[in-house]
Structure 1
Amino acid sequence: MKPKLSQWKELLAARHKKKTADEKNEMEPSERGATDVPYVDIWQEYGTKPYWFAGDYCLIRETVYPLDYQHGCYRLGALHDVHRRWQEASFSHPLSCRGFAVSDLFFFDTETMGLSSGVGTVMFLLGHARVLGDRIIIRQHVLPHPGAEVALYQSFLSDVDYTTLVTYNGKAFDWPRLKTRHALVRDMVPKLPAFGHFDLYHAARRLWKDKLDSLRLAEVEKHILQIERDDDVPGFLAPMIYQEFLQTPHPDRIMPVLRHNEQDVLSLIALYIHLSIQLLEAMQISDPREQLAAARWLEAVGETAAARGVYEQASSKEVKEAQAAKWQLSLLYRRERRYEEAVAIWRDLFNHGSASWKTKAGLELAKAYEHHFRDAAEAHRYAAAAYEAWRSLAKASRQGMEKEEQEWRKRLERLTRKKNKLGK
């Protein structure tokens, strides 16, 4: 009982300390402790002010950009046009901001002391941007020393609508780490809600996993958004720079990391604009791989009408991806029980495609003629031809195909019996 009573005593003391600190904050909201902030005058020159809470402080830096600011290939104010188009779009999508105001979107990125999601990984910078009607505001919440996390999370959670965060890999990286650190101070700051639904990493992976060697934000910036960073600090150096800042807390020590984070959140705005345009204008995408990927994504989220139009557009091009688009379109027709249209595509792939397409299309033709058109002879003809194409591929691969071989033989034997029965 003695250890439990000791724990309760410490808890009650902590709550009393919090209440006293809160009352003190209410009485002296802005002036208190300014002299306790190292280099406060220099911080103010950088647009940074201390935020006091529970007897400690964090730093909040604010930067303003005009709507016509060009970041890579996009003017960031174009988010307003993208927002309007999402409201009018004929389809829904996980990236759609329909029902939200432009200013509801918080483009969010963090800097941490490491990649681990463990309790010891401190998040020392929480940055976010909002696009308003006349400007773009970036706010960065900086942890001046490890003991100030209560003030850091209080400032962040009271400033951000965290249900509409837009991140890059935030669901797997930023948010779990934020939850871990928040758990240590959750009795003293607002509750952390479930994560919002705009993670641009998964969108980038959908569209460019076959196009880019790496899906790191820096690579997407360079190859997709045409953003070139000059004199930028690499993200992996941020923890070391922060450690040096803790030793000598001069603003100039940490400002390179703040500028790096600032560029990150601006890139999130540009990337959201680009991804939205790719979906809203999927019919006009020039890159056949991206167009096919966009169509697959639309189909995956249940927007088959929108996907169909993009597949039809992609299948009309004289590129190798056109056959993949035809195949996806045929499967969509099959699910909609539009067998005549599906069969026309399968015949085209069977007659003009590679051995792989001949195998896949021939098998689908065999299934369609056996089960839908009830024509065993035609089903057997396509199955036999598809089997021969499959055998040539199996020999070339030099891998064990015993199970598939058995399936092919069972199909052919069944169709032979059906064909002979009808012949009698």
Structure 2
Amino acid sequence: MSSLRDKMNRLRGAASTVPSSEEPVAAAAVAEPELTIESQQATAQADDLETLSEEWSSMGVKLLHNEGGSFLIRRLVYPANHRHGTHCIGELSAAVSGLSAFHESAVAAEELLFLDLETTGLGAGTGNVPFMVGLAYWAGSELIVEQAVIRHPAEERAMLYYLHKKLANYRYLVSYNGKSFDWPVMQTRFIMNGYNRKLWEPLHLDFLHPSRSIWKNTLVSLRLSHVEEERLGIERIDDVPGSLAPQLYFQFLADGNPEPLRGVYQHNEIDMLSLVCLSIRFGHLLNGIGTGEFELPMPEEPEELIRTGLWLEKMGHGDRAEQMFEAAIRLEQGAAATLNMLAARDKKAGNWQRAVLLWQKALAQSVHHGSAGMNASVELAMYYEHKLKDYDSALSYVSEALELSLGHPLGRKDAKRRAEIEALRKRKERLLRKTGRNLAEI
């Protein structure tokens, strides 16, 4: 940590200031005309604000003083009717009730604190410093976005002092991978700066996990920027990738020119808004698709339908899960692997009747497609052998599974495939003995 601190101290440039303004604190100007200019609730929390040089002021950045020192802060205020992709952020008030399923306790929009960091590195260790902390919270009928930035290590304590006071006002921390990264990084910084007593312990709403549960096989990437584009209708234009943020920050430290940080501010701002919209999407989904004022599109791919249903079931909404399952079954283009997935769920739940139908449908759709058909055949063989004691039917299915496995291109080369073939041979031998037939060449 000391080497990083020394490097930052050597590289930092001094920022000029002008006398404190007596005008009300204004939110930063942004491109969207519907953004409001000021928020009394946001400004009331500032101990003292100073206007900075023109380079900073053009980005809406102010200098904030408190008992810990000073740091930079940028505030934006979004009205409820601001649209970000397919959602208006005001939908949060209606969607938030669905989020109670995460912790089985009531959730209010005013209890949510959204968090997204821009850091000097990727790890959660002591050498990784959050140089920009993005926060968002709901106040009245507005969404307040705050971005705290340190220009050098000496400003970190003031920033953490401000954050430490703010955290206590919220019950839930909303993030995207924040449970594993953002919050551990913040905890480390708090402890290293002496805020280890009575450290806030939030209830986490980390939306990476439900995103992974639902979209891990239907989206090519689970990065927030890709999820928002594919499922929230958000398109970023000239966005600075988050991976470049540390480089741009060190460039600022080297020459004192804040202009490279403009893109980092905008990237973090969009992250915060997208996180709010992701909260809205999951809240609506948990409240029920097609209910109330807000209509969500049903997933179009069978696997996403089933994965959505499995997640809803896990969250305690079995009735809505069944809607997803039935929709997936009705799709003619349902892949055999997807049907096997749903059949496995039914098998675990003891719903044997539908599981058998799904395996039979998967087998019919995958006669020429290898492993999915083989898996369905094996499941059917086990069902008829152990549940119905119908050894003839079981023998028929295991023979079909063996044929499919031998016909696979890697059937005799792949070690795992060879082990599967040997297990099928033994199963077929056992069924032949149970049916009283002579052992044939297998």
Q: TM-score range by the shorter chain?
A: 0.7 to 0.9
Report the Cα offset of residue 66 of structure 1: 0.6
The SS at the match of 2:126 is: coil
Match of 1:12 in 2: none
Instruction: Assess if the C-alpha contact under 8 Å between 1:278 and 1:294 holds in 2.
Output: no
Quote the residue 1:171 is aligned against. 179
SS of the counterpart of 1:226? coil
Matched, 1:182 2:217: no
C-alpha distance 205-338 of structure 1, shift in aligned 2 (>3 A): closer
Partner residue in 2 for 1:409: 425
1:108-147 CA distances to partner (integer Å, 9 max, x unpaired)?
Answer: 1111122233322221111111123311111222223212
Partner of 2:268: 261
The residue that corresponds to 1:51 in the other structure is: 65
Matches within 5 A, 1:138-217: 138-161=145-168, 163-185=171-193, 187-188=194-195, 191-194=198-201, 196-217=203-224
Quote the offset at 1:408 in angstroms: 1.4
Q: Which residue of 1 aligns with 2:81?
A: 68
Long gaps (5+) in structure 1: 1-28
Tell me by how many angstroms 1:396 deviates. 5.1
Establish whether residue 382 from structure 1 lines up as the match of residue 397 from structure 2.
Answer: yes
Matched, 1:349 2:362: yes
Of the candidates 91, 98, 112, which is equivalent to residue 119 of structure 2? 112
What is aligned with 2:135?
Answer: 128
Work out which of the residue numbers 315, 318, 333 in structure 2 matches 1:319: 333
Cα distance change, pair 404–196 in 1 and its aligned pair in 2 (3 A): same
Of Structure 1 and Structure 2, which has the larger fraction of its residues in helix?
A: 1
Paired with 2:70 and 2:82, the residues of 1 have a C-alpha distance of: 32
Q: Distance in 1 between matches of 2:412 and 2:184?
A: 43
| CA distance in structure 1 between the partners assigned to 2:197 and 2:265 by the alignment | 25
**CA–CA distance in structure 2, aligned partners of residues 357 and 252 of structure 1:** 54
When structure 1 is superposed on structure 2, of 264-273 and 296-305 the one drifting more is 296-305
Q: Is the 8 A contact 1:58 1:148 kept in 2?
A: yes
The secondary structure found in structure 2 opposite 1:144 is coil
CA distance in 2, matches of 1:76, 1:313: 29
**C-alpha distance in 2 between matches for 1:296 and 1:188:** 41
Moved more, 194-203 or 151-160: 194-203
CA distance in structure 2 between the aligned counterparts of 1:97 and 1:138, rounded to whole angstroms: 27
Q: 1:82 aligns with which of 95, 99, 120?
A: 95
**Cα gap change, 1:38/1:397 in structure 2, threshold over 3 Å: closer, same or farther?**
farther
1:258 positional shift: 2.7
Secondary structure of 1:262's match? helix
Q: 2:413 aligns with which of 363, 374, 398?
A: 398
Asked if structure 1 preserves the Cα contact closer than 8 Å seen for 2:115 and 2:173, the reply is yes
**What is the aligned partner in structure 2 of residue 329 from structure 1?**
342
1:17 corresponds to: none
Name the amino acid aligned to 1:406.
E
Q: Could you give the per-residue CA deviations for residues 36-67 of structure 1, whole angstroms, max 9, x where no partner exists?
A: x965997599363513124x222333221111
Distance 1:326 1:101 in 2: 38
- Rg bigger for which structure? 1
For residues 72 and 338 of structure 1, what CA distance do their matches in structure 2 show?
40
Instruction: For 1:164, give the aligned amino acid.
Output: Y
1:309 and 2:317 correspond: no
CA shift digits 1:197-245 (9 cap, x unpaired): 2222233333333333333222233333332334544433433443354
The question of whether the paired residues in 2 share the 8 Å contact of 1:38 and 1:250 is answered with: no
Root mean square deviation, CA, Å: 3.3
- Between stretches 288-297 and 61-70, larger displacement belongs to 288-297
Q: 1:302 to 1:388 in 2, by over 3 A?
A: farther
| Displacement after TM superposition at 1:303 (Å) | 5.0
| TM-score, normalised via structure 2 length | 0.75
Q: For 2:436, what is the secondary structure of its paired residue? A: helix
1:5 aligned residue: none
How many residues align structurally? Answer: 381
Q: Is the 8 A contact 1:225 1:270 kept in 2?
A: yes
Which of residues 357, 365, 369 is equivalent to 2:384?
369
Letter in structure 1 aligned against 2:389: R
Identity %: 33
State the partner residue of 2:373: 358
Q: How many angstroms apart in 1 are the aligned matches of 2:372 and 2:301?
A: 22
Q: What amino acid is the match of 1:169?
A: N
1:351–1:69 CA distance, 2 compared to 1 (3 A):
closer
1:19 alignment counterpart: none
Gaps in structure 2 of 5+ consecutive residues? 1-45, 290-295, 438-442
Contact 2:177 / 2:207 at 8 angstroms: preserved in 1? yes
Instruction: Sort the Cα spacing of 1:284 and 1:225 in 2 relative to 1 into closer, same or farther, 3 A.
Output: closer
Query: For residues 287 and 350 of structure 1, do their structure 2 counterparts lie closer, same or farther at Cα, with a shift above 3 Å needed?
Result: closer
